[in-house]
């Protein structure tokens, strides 16, 4: 596969998966970018906006907008850090209460998207993605 095919195919796949995830989260008033932040905060705990940006490979302006939406929805709070400019983002009790519903919807769409791949191929895909990401970081 030449590099053009790689980037083209990955872009198409990424857009398709993002659209499917957005459809699954729409009933909850969430989008994939918001879910990404929520999931990271749930798994890693409180992080600064800069740490979220670095972890998710997102520039500061779109991350700021995503966090502002989540604050407005009551799902995250911004706690002051040691530095005046630093804010720690953390999930609210409301988000923690709703998280299982969101996670279930994400799990269902994940299963739906992978159902045509044999389990061995699913495991290989997961391992390949993890290995490739580790090498890029």
Can you give the length of the chain in residues? 137
Q: What is the pTM of this model?
A: 0.87
Asked which of 53-57, 80-84, 104-108, 112-116 is least confident by mean pLDDT, the reply is 80-84
Q: Where are the domains of the chain?
A: 22-136
Nearest alpha-carbon partner for 92 in 112, 63, 123, 70: 70
> Interior CA angle at 116 toward 107 and 5, to 5°?
100
**C-alpha R_g of the chain:** 17
Residue-level pLDDT at 2: 65
> pLDDT exceeding 90 applies to what percent of the chain?
66
* 48-68 per-position pLDDT tens digit: 999 999 999 999 999 999 999
Checking if the pLDDT of 84 tops 80, the result is: no
- The tokens describing 96, both together, are 């923690």
The CATH number of the domain covering residues in 22-136:
1.10.10.10
Q: Which residue has the tokens 């969101």?
A: 102
* 14-40 per-position pLDDT tens digit: 999 999 999 999 999 999 999 999 999
Residue that wins the pLDDT comparison between 16 and 4: 16
Residue-level pLDDT at 130: 86
Q: Reduced to 3 DSSP states, what percent helix, strand and coil does the chain have, rounded to the nearest 5?
A: 75, 10, 20
């Amino acid at each position: 596969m030449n590099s053009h095919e790689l980037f083209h195919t990955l872009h198409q796949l990424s857009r398709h998966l993002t659209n499917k995830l957005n459809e699954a989260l729409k009933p909850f008033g969430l989008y994939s970018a918001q879910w990404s932040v929520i999931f990271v905060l749930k798994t890693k705990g409180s992080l600064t906006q800069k740490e979220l940006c670095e972890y998710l490979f997102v520039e500061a302006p779109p991350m700021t907008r995503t966090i502002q939406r989540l604050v407005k929805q009551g799902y995250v709070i911004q706690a002051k850090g040691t530095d005046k400019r630093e804010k720690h983002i953390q999930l609210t009790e409301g988000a923690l209460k709703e998280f299982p519903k969101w996670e279930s919807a994400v799990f269902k769409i994940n299963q739906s998207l992978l159902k045509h791949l044999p389990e061995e191929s699913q495991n290989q895909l997961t391992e390949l993605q993890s290995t490739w990401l580790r090498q890029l970081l």
